[in-house]
């Protein structure tokens, strides 16, 4: 299912959109707008996830032991790399 939206944008923004389509980056205005909205939605989702992670660390801060264990694990995984 899909939903149709009717929007108005400033002329300058419409020209920029048309230039992006004309440059071959997008097949149509609609495709460019869909991709822009998808990127906005994804960015908003990532911001919410980040805020939740920060809140979790505020409620339950890392201990020095947690940091030491994570550091050891990171170093061990680097040493296992074939480079």
- Percent of the chain at pLDDT above 70? 100
| 3-class DSSP assignment, residue 75 | helix
Is the pTM here over 0.75, yes or no? no
Task: Give the domain ranges of the chain.
Answer: 11-80
> Could you tell me which of 13, 44, 45, 18 has the C-alpha nearest to residue 29?
18
On the question of pLDDT at 83 being above 90, the answer is no
Sign of CA dihedral 49, 51, 56, 62: positive
The answer to whether the beta carbons of residues 37 and 26 sit under 8 Å apart is: no
pLDDT of res. 15? 98
pLDDT of res. 10? 98
Angle subtended at Cα 31 by Cα 44 and Cα 43, rounded to the nearest 5 degrees: 10
On the question of pLDDT at 8 being above 90, the answer is yes
């Amino acid at each position: 299912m899909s939903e149709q939206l009717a929007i108005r944008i400033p002329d300058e923004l419409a020209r920029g959109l048309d230039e992006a389509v004309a440059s071959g980056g997008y097949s149509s205005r609609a495709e460019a707008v869909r991709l822009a909205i998808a990127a906005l939605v994804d960015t908003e989702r990532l911001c919410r996830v980040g805020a939740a992670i920060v809140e979790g660390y505020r409620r339950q801060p890392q201990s020095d032991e947690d940091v030491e264990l994570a550091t050891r694990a990171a170093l061990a995984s680097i040493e296992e790399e074939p480079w």
